[in-house]
Amino acid sequence: MTDTSLKTGQTPSLSFYEDMHPPAADFRSDILAGLSKPQKALPPKYYYDEEGSRLFDAITEQPEYYVTGTELELLRAIGPELAALAGEGAVVLEPGAGSSVKIRTLLDALERPAAFVGMDISGDHVRAACEELAADYPELEIGALCHDFTQKLDVDALPLSEKAHAGRRVVFFPGSTIGNFELIDALGLLKTLRSWLREGDALLIGTDMRKASETLEAAYDDKAGVTAAFNLNLIARINRELDGDIDADGLQYQAFWNPYRSRVEMYLMAVRDMHFTVAGERFVIRKHETIHMENSHKFTLDTFHDLAAKAGLKSRKAWVSGREPFSMHWLEPADEAC
């Protein structure tokens, strides 16, 4: 993209970068707490070190993992409708700003968006991602926020231009990330996102849908073993960073569809009794005992709308992919909402 407004050699810069100093995650105490539970469990947010992020990108390229490709295809297909709903000069906010291909698809679809605000718990990550975006979208006001969901956010107070503040806010939350939260926490997160919206603003959110168990179990346990490697990478990270000696060869990855809770549950199961040490603490895992790694909830249009309604959000429009069912929702604040 050419841009005549920039002097040669000048790097396109962000309109703002603000570090809200989210509470630092404590890898050591979170892992020790998880391994000490009666049902061992590890927080999925720790998957994403450098190797973990690389492995996740590789997951999205596996033929069985339909999620990313399906969502992107759907997003492209509904672009004109999104443009009509958002109107001209919209402000897009993306919490957990990650896959730049999705945000670019949205920005390209909209009619002269006024601003983009990326937010992430990692300041370095969100700053780099937004700077890259700024290089390609010189017309757009772009801000980066180091922030997490547990922190209050006053969108009115962000240092955006008057024009941007006047545009419709579109909070973009793709990837079915909402599905990784326990339902009670998903509800809390939806309430938080709802609190950023004024009347007429919207939450554009992607949610994966219920489908055949074979399809789901294959998507979360690909033949090439990338999802298994993604899970075992967290064990390697624990061994490396917390001076652990867990024998990864004694752990077997398993994904299963739990229709009663409408979610894929991911586990590492011990194939034999194992004693191990992490950060100086001793643990035992018995043969067939599991470490719960992650959940990925799947919705129907109705179950997701019911959840959204509890958060004070009503559905204006929903789209379902023609391939594997995956949905995008345009939600607006309900009048009677909190």
Residue 227 binds ligand AVJ, judged by CB under 6 A:
yes
Cβ proximity to ligand AVJ, 46 vs 276, nearer residue: 46
Enumerate residues 79-138 that contact ligand AVJ by CB under 6 A: none
Q: Which is nearer to ligand AVJ, 141 or 265 (CB)?
A: 265
| Strand order across the beta sheet in which 16-19 lies | 16-19, 141-146, 115-120, 91-95, 169-173, 202-208, 326-333, 313-320
Reading the block at residue 168, the tokens are 């419709």
Question: Closest distance between ligand AVJ and the C-beta of residue 296, in Å?
Answer: 3
- Considering only residues 287-306, where is the footprint of ligand AVJ by CB under 6 A? 294, 296
Structure tokens at 174: 């793709």
Q: What is the C-alpha separation between 144 and 129, in angstroms, rounded?
A: 9
Nearer to ligand AVJ, 53 or 177 (CB): 177
Q: Among residues 28 and 54, whose Cβ is nearest to ligand AVJ? A: 54
Report, in Å, the least distance between residue 177 CB and ligand AVJ: 5
Asked if residue 253 lies in contact with residue 267, where contact means CB atoms within 8 angstroms, the answer is yes
CA-nearest of 236, 267, 230, 266 to 249 is 236
Give the count of alpha carbons within 13 A of 306, CB side only.
7
- Shortest Å, Cβ 171 to ligand AVJ: 17
Task: Figure out which of the listed residues 42, 55, 67, 146 binds ligand AVJ, where binding follows CB under 6 A.
Answer: 67
Which member of 177, 277, 303, 315 binds ligand AVJ (CB under 6 A)? 177
Nearest to 285 by CA among 244, 256, 229: 244
Among 118, 179, 312, 325, binds ligand AVJ (CB under 6 A): 179
Q: HSE (CB half, 13 Å, CA atoms) of 261?
A: 15
Inter-residue contact 168 to 201 (CB < 8 Å): yes
C-alpha count within 13 angstroms, C-beta hemisphere, residue 138? 11
* Closest distance of CB 84 from ligand AVJ, Å: 28
> Token pair for residue 44?
């999925």
Of all residues in the shown chain, the one whose CB is closest to ligand AVJ is 296
Residue 220 within binding range of ligand AVJ, rule CB under 6 A: yes
Rg, Å, the chain Cα set: 21
> Contact with ligand AVJ (CB under 6 A): which of 70, 99, 105, 176?
176
Binding status of residue 268 toward ligand AVJ by CB under 6 A: no
- 175: contact with ligand AVJ by CB under 6 A: yes
The CB-of-19 to ligand AVJ minimum distance in angstroms stands at 25
Instruction: Write down the least CB distance from residue 59 to ligand AVJ, Å.
Output: 5
Q: Where are the beta strands (DSSP E) in the chain?
A: 16-19, 40-41, 91-95, 115-120, 141-146, 169-173, 202-208, 251-258, 263-270, 274-278, 281-285, 290-297, 313-320, 326-333
If the CB atoms of residues 137 and 230 are measured against ligand AVJ, the closer one turns out to be 230
Question: Contact residues for ligand AVJ (CB under 6 A)?
Answer: 59, 67, 175-177, 179-180, 220, 227, 294, 296
